[in-house]
Amino acid sequence: MHDPRVLLDPATDAVRKLARRGFNLDLPALDKLFSQRTALVGQADESRAESNRLAREVGAAAKRGEDVTEPRERAKSVKARVQELEEQHRQVSAELEEFLLGVPNLPSDELPDGNSDEDAELVRTWGEPPAFDFDPADHVSIGERLGIFDFQRATKLSGPRFSVTRGAGARLERAIAAFLIELHTEQHGYTEFNVPVIVNRQTMTGTGQLPKFESDLFRTGVAERELFLIPTAEVPLTNLHAGEILATEDLPFAYTANTACFRSEAGSYGKDTKGLIRLHQFQKVELVRFCTPERADAEFELLLSHAENALKELGLAYRVVKLAAGDIGFSAERTYDIEVWLPGQQRYREISSVSDFGTFQARRAGIRTKAKDGTRGLANTLNGSGLPIGRTMVAILEQNQQEDGSVVLPPALVPYARFKRINPDGTLGE
């Protein structure tokens, strides 16, 4: 969420910046709401002061034995006016908050123009896409041939866009998750958390999923409480510090969690309907960092390097692209996508998004900072996928498939999986 004064400041150039992401900021409407609220605060303060003055006068007159009927009526009238102004202030403040909650973050000027992945700017590539002496299969064909996927029974259980893994597939998923968590905690310095995957509306609002993306979320309830299934562990991890003041000398904080994630994928039907690419439920290891705004650039590069290192350790060819201003998420100032090479599709596909949110989420969630000298501010939040389990398995299966139908595991995974390959018949090979 934004400070309305910042959006109204011509130096911010908010209208132009938001137009780059396809958002039309109604500046006159914002100015009207903000002016109304400011005026009502002043009027209420004046009326409150007058009410207090009249109350003192009535009390003094009563002590002197004077008739206080008329001044008491005036005091009641002013008190009623205070209550009226306070109610008007609540209404206008609610309208202003609703307006501001719908305004996305200002995109960084470093981002290219455009609104699709075709407008992304290539940053770098790593690794050589594997060359095959045969036509590489996609992960669905590989997994079904090996007997490690069962999409038919997943559909029976829950409908389309769910998955069931079995045997070596389930074991491989578990190994990937263990490898990623240990990498990020032992080598990259993240603190691991086990967090709820069902959260309240305030928590979803803090990171920007609500109110704009309510149709994309799965909603549930417990004992008449409205709750939502998280689309990513970014939501609970970031909101761990909602309403708190963080000491700047303790920053940065680096958090990670492996959780189930739930997305309705509204508007995506017809895209990636087969396989593990776009599911309603999936596992993901998330990385979240808190810092001061002055450290944001360095923290962004560090976070990006941690997500990249996971792919390097697994030997998976990938590239990094800078998303266009109109293609970044609602809460982001800038986003770099890491795209892994998928031989079965003969293209790079997103496997991680690393985003800098500036102070946008911190303002919504009330995450503040305080320096030793008493200086106060807002925290800068960042997050990235490090990595999604399903898409990582897709890349491993496709980049490491063999002509005989087997799949060789990356050496980094072997200590966690305790096998080296999946044989053509689906059995484990040492």
Over residues 155-194, the pLDDT tens digits come to 999 999 999 999 999 999 999 999 999 999 999 999 999 9
Taking the mean position of all CA atoms in its chain, how far away is CA 402?
A: 37
* 140 domain-assigned: yes
Q: Residue 47 annotated as binding?
A: no
* 74 domain-assigned: yes
* 107 domain-assigned: no
> What single DSSP character describes residue 179?
H
What whole-number distance in Å separates Cα of residue 73 and Cα of residue 68? 8
More reliable by pLDDT, 214 or 268? 214
Per-residue buried b or exposed e for 361-393, using 16+ beta carbons within 10 Å of the residue's own CB: bbbbbbbbbeeeeeeebbbbbbbbbbbbbbbbb
- Same domain? For 95 and 158 the reply is no
- Same domain? For 77 and 166 the reply is no
Mean pLDDT of the region 211-224: 88
Mean pLDDT of the region 302-308: 98
Instruction: Decide if pLDDT at 311 tops 80.
Output: yes
Give Cα separations from 76 to 29, 49, 86, 322, 398 (angstroms). 35, 13, 15, 62, 78
Q: Given pLDDT bands bounded at 50, 70 and 90, which one contains residue 75?
A: confident
Instruction: Decide if pLDDT at 28 tops 70.
Output: yes
Only one residue has tokens 């990938």, namely: 318
Instruction: Return the ∠ at Cα 289 (arms to 287 and 290), rounded to 5°.
Output: 160
* 40 domain-assigned: yes
CATH number at residue 19: 1.10.287.40
- Residue 73 has a pLDDT of 87
> What single DSSP character describes residue 148?
-
Q: Residue 351 annotated as binding?
A: yes
Q: Residue 234 annotated as binding?
A: yes
* 110 domain-assigned: no
- Same domain? For 53 and 184 the reply is no
- Are 307 and 336 in contact, with CB atoms under 8 Å apart? no
What whole-number distance in Å separates Cα of residue 410 and Cα of residue 417? 10
Instruction: Decide if pLDDT at 270 tops 80.
Output: no
Q: Into how many domains does the chain fold?
A: 2
pLDDT > 70 in the chain, percent: 98
Q: Residue 383 annotated as binding?
A: yes
- Same domain? For 280 and 157 the reply is yes
pLDDT > 90 in the chain, percent: 87
Mean pLDDT of the region 242-265: 96
CATH number at residue 236: 3.30.930.10
Biggest CA–CA distance in the chain, Å, is 107
Spatial CA neighbour of 333 closest among 110, 22, 12: 110
- Same domain? For 257 and 205 the reply is yes
Q: Residue 350 annotated as binding?
A: yes
Instruction: Pick the range with the lowest mean pLDDT from 158-162, 269-273, 320-324.
Output: 269-273
Instruction: Pick the range with the lowest mean pLDDT from 218-222, 285-289, 308-312, 314-318.
Output: 218-222
Q: Residue 309 annotated as binding?
A: no
Instruction: Decide if pLDDT at 266 tops 80.
Output: no
**Which residue segment(s) compose the domain that 247 sits in?**
117-429
Instruction: Decide if pLDDT at 269 tops 60.
Output: no
* 109 domain-assigned: no
Report strand pairing: 253-262 vs 368-370: unpaired
- Are 29 and 43 in contact, with CB atoms under 8 Å apart? no
Q: Given pLDDT bands bounded at 50, 70 and 90, which one contains residue 265?
A: confident
**From the CB of residue 156, how many other CB atoms can be counted at a distance below 10 Å?**
11
- Same domain? For 260 and 362 the reply is yes
What positions carry a catalytic annotation?
A: 263, 278, 350, 353, 391
- Same domain? For 98 and 121 the reply is no
What whole-number distance in Å separates Cα of residue 98 and Cα of residue 92? 10
Q: What dihedral angle (degrees, nearest 10) is formed by the CA atoms of 422, 423, 424, 426?
A: -60
* 252 domain-assigned: yes
Mean pLDDT of the region 297-320: 98
Q: Residue 232 annotated as binding?
A: yes
Give alpha helix (H) positions in 147-241. Answer: 151-158, 168-182, 201-207, 234-239
Q: Residue 131 annotated as binding?
A: no
Q: Is 325 exposed, middle or buried (0-12, 13-18, 19+ CB in 10 A)?
A: buried
- Same domain? For 137 and 221 the reply is yes
Global pTM value: 0.93
> What single DSSP character describes residue 324?
P
